[in-house]
């Protein structure tokens, strides 16, 4: 049984190797809205489907991705950037098959990075993505801004509470992301996925999303992608990496990132227009091989 699972995972990796690594930053509009749970949900579900997944953890403490996965480390990505430690010594492998790269100190020093450090950061990201299909940055915002590392992701997922204050903070974060606060080429598409937590119902969450999407579309000229809902009262159970709702959102997100190019083949996942709906087609045998 174990051999067949390894063979299936190897087959999936062979398919994904043809396509660029997907790099996504996951950020909470405010503290405690469930962004780390969503990031870990996506990581765990993608790993279960045979993808090699790396989480770059900008947080520290008991609620961090590193701690939730039962890992500890004295090293930080900043030390590799400064050439104080080899990059290969920083990543940690969890029992869930997810590789974790602690980067809290790097995030804290993001604004002070000089040109040489930024170049070293780019080199490190190239190396980290070399054997990774999905790279997730669990963001720690500083004054509502993404770190230099988080800005280098191809996509942004924002988790906001269903409140006016949180939605306003989400809009400010998205605006910075869409108006050039990321080192991408001019005209590059910067997809943004939005999840809503602390909503009394899915309907209320959808309403909050629709409101935010309307403002972003009107003022920034970009449509948002529905990520999912963490209902009011959601709380991650003790000693559980991510709750069931976060795992569902994570799986939906992973499916949206990896869909097939060969839509004419029967049995393959069809592209999903997730600007309109958060209910993508299920994938019983793992994720299909195509970057959205």
Domain tally for the chain?
1
Which carries the bigger pLDDT value, residue 283 or residue 141?
141
The DSSP letter of residue 223 is -
In a domain, 273, yes or no: no
199-219 pLDDT per residue, tens? 988 999 999 999 999 999 999
Domain enclosing residue 240, as ranges: 20-257
CA distances from 212 to 33, 68, 215 (A): 16, 31, 5
Cβ(245)–Cβ(234) under 8 Å?
yes
Buried b / exposed e over 54-93, threshold 16 CB at 10 Å, is: bbbbbbbeeebbbbbbebeeebbbbbbbbeebebeebbbe
**Torsion 193-199-205-209 (CA) sign:** negative
CATH of the domain at 158: 3.40.50.300
Mean pLDDT for all residues in the chain: 81
In a domain, 263, yes or no: no
In a domain, 159, yes or no: yes
Lowest mean per-residue pLDDT among 133-147, 191-205, 230-244: 230-244
In a domain, 111, yes or no: yes
Give the start-end residues of each E strand in 122-215. 134-138, 155-161, 192-199
In a domain, 138, yes or no: yes
Confidence of residue 126 (pLDDT cuts 50, 70, 90): very high
* Residue 226 in this model has a pLDDT that exceeds 70: yes
Which carries the bigger pLDDT value, residue 31 or residue 18?
31
Position 263 scores a pLDDT of 34
pTM listed for this prediction = 0.81
Q: Could you tell me which residues are beta bridge partners of residue 292?
A: none
Confidence of residue 244 (pLDDT cuts 50, 70, 90): confident
Confidence of residue 4 (pLDDT cuts 50, 70, 90): low
* Average pLDDT over every residue of 150-161: 94
In a domain, 268, yes or no: no
* Average pLDDT over every residue of 22-32: 94
- Give the span between the Cα atoms of 101 and 292, in whole angstroms: 25
* Average pLDDT over every residue of 104-116: 95
* Residue 279 in this model has a pLDDT that exceeds 50: no
In a domain, 289, yes or no: no
Which carries the bigger pLDDT value, residue 186 or residue 217?
217
In a domain, 288, yes or no: no
DSSP symbols for 5-39? HHHHHHHHHHHHTTSPPEEEEEEESSTTSSHHHHH
* Average pLDDT over every residue of 238-253: 81
């Amino acid at each position: 049984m174990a051999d067949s699972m390894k063979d299936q995972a190897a087959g999936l990796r062979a398919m994904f190797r043809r396509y660029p690594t997907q790099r996504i930053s996951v950020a909470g509009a405010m503290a405690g809205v469930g962004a780390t749970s969503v990031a870990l949900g996506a990581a765990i579900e993608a790993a279960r489907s045979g993808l090699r997944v790396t989480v770059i953890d900008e947080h520290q403490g008991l609620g961090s991705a590193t701690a939730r996965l039962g890992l500890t480390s004295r090293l930080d990505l900043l030390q590799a950037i400064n050439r104080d430690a080899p990059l290969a010594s920083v990543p940690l492998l969890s029992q869930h098959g997810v590789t974790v790269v602690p980067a809290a100190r790097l995030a804290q020093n993001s604004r002070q990075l000089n040109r040489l450090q930024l170049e070293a950061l780019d080199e490190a990201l190239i190396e980290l993505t070399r054997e990774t299909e999905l790279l997730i940055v669990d963001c720690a915002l500083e004054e509502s801004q993404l770190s230099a590392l988080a800005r280098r992701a191809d996509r942004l997922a924002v988790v906001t509470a269903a409140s006016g204050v949180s939605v306003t903070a989400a809009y400010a974060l998205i605006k910075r992301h869409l108006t050039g606060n990321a080192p991408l080429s001019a005209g590059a598409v910067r997809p943004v996925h939005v999840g809503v937590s602390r909503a009394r119902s899915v309907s209320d969450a959808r309403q909050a999303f629709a409101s935010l999407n309307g403002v972003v579309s009107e003022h920034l000229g970009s449509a948002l992608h529905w990520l999912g809902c963490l209902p009011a009262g959601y709380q991650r159970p003790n000693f559980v990496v991510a709750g069931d709702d976060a795992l569902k959102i994570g799986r939906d997100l992973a499916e949206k990132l990896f869909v097939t190019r060969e839509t004419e083949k029967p049995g393959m996942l069809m592209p999903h227009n997730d600007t309109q709906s958060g209910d993508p087609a299920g994938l019983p045998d793992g994720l299909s091989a195509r970057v959205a």
